[in-house]
Amino acid sequence: MNFFHSCVILFLIFSGCKTNNDVSSLQGNDKSEMNNSQGLDSVKEIKEIYREDFQRILDSNFLTGSVLIFDPQSEKFYSNNFQRADSGFLPASTFKIVNSLIAIETGMVESDSAMFKWDGKKRRLPEWEQDLILRDAFHYSCVPCFQEIARRIGSERMIRYLKAFDYGNMKVDSSNSDEFWLRGDSKISQRGQIDFLNKFYNSKLPVSARTFDIIKRMMVINDNDQYILSGKTGWSERDGKNNGWFVGYAETGGKVFYFAANVEPKENFNMDNFARIRKQVTLEALRKLDMIKDF
């Protein structure tokens, strides 16, 4: 692909996904059944626009990777590396969005104020060593809390919902149901993350309005006079190699913009900065496109 010129791709936009609270109704659903039930609305022309300034943002922060931004109003994707944006990586803690959706919809967790008791054992982060409600567990990215949620959901139900959501390529079975998003061969691309977020934001997933409302509230990171920022970070490590995510959407002026950044530190990068830098480079990219503005 020539990244220095815009190219046009065709994709199919599906809508009309039926909302259904009955978990048993998802039994046996596969992607073809979901697509047939949605129906084809239209074929739209989506443009991909290469952004050298996104690459400069990453280079100046000693990162490799890509930032992918989708503007549904103009039907344009922006990135410094579209090939990487179509490559799959472990979802890591970005999967907490999906985990929370399934937990609330199935009743495994009642609401975002449901309590998760700390067992008193040492945990990796001090913020996790306390009783946490779901909302705080989400923002603190409490891995043990969400592993408990996944065990409640169970592998069979998890697989059914993942198929219904058409979420990446998750490798789930009874042996890894509480860690498949953290290690192993599960993968989702940046484009896949944005596709999922687009369906989520527009309530095109088979869950109730109540579930959508709870998770959308829970995902808000920053609500100010200029924009509302919602999303989730993720961080995985394999063979000593760190991989970081920041996915979500920004709402401003009656418009929404979706983003998915996936980055890795270069040699000599200060890992103390990795937690915050994923958000920082994404916000810089959004500002370059005038999608969000500083105060």
Catalytic residue numbers read 93
Residue type (1 letter), 28: G
Spatial distance between the Cα atoms of 147 and 191, rounded to a whole number of angstroms: 26
Beta bridge partners of 66: 262
33-62 as b/e: b if 16+ CB within 10 A: ebeeebeeeeeeebebbbbeebbebbeebe
Spatial distance between the Cα atoms of 42 and 258, rounded to a whole number of angstroms: 21
Spatial distance between the Cα atoms of 283 and 280, rounded to a whole number of angstroms: 5
CA angle 14, 245, 247 (to 5 degrees): 40
Question: Which residues are CB-contacts of 276 (< 8 A; sequence separation ≥ 6)?
Answer: none
Q: How many of the other CB atoms lie within 10 Å of CB of 293?
A: 11
Strands (DSSP E) contained in the chain are: 7-14, 40-50, 63-71, 76-79, 115-116, 132-133, 220-223, 228-238, 241-252, 255-265
Beta bridge partners of 43: 12
Q: Which residue has the tokens 């989702």?
A: 188
Spatial distance between the Cα atoms of 284 and 122, rounded to a whole number of angstroms: 36
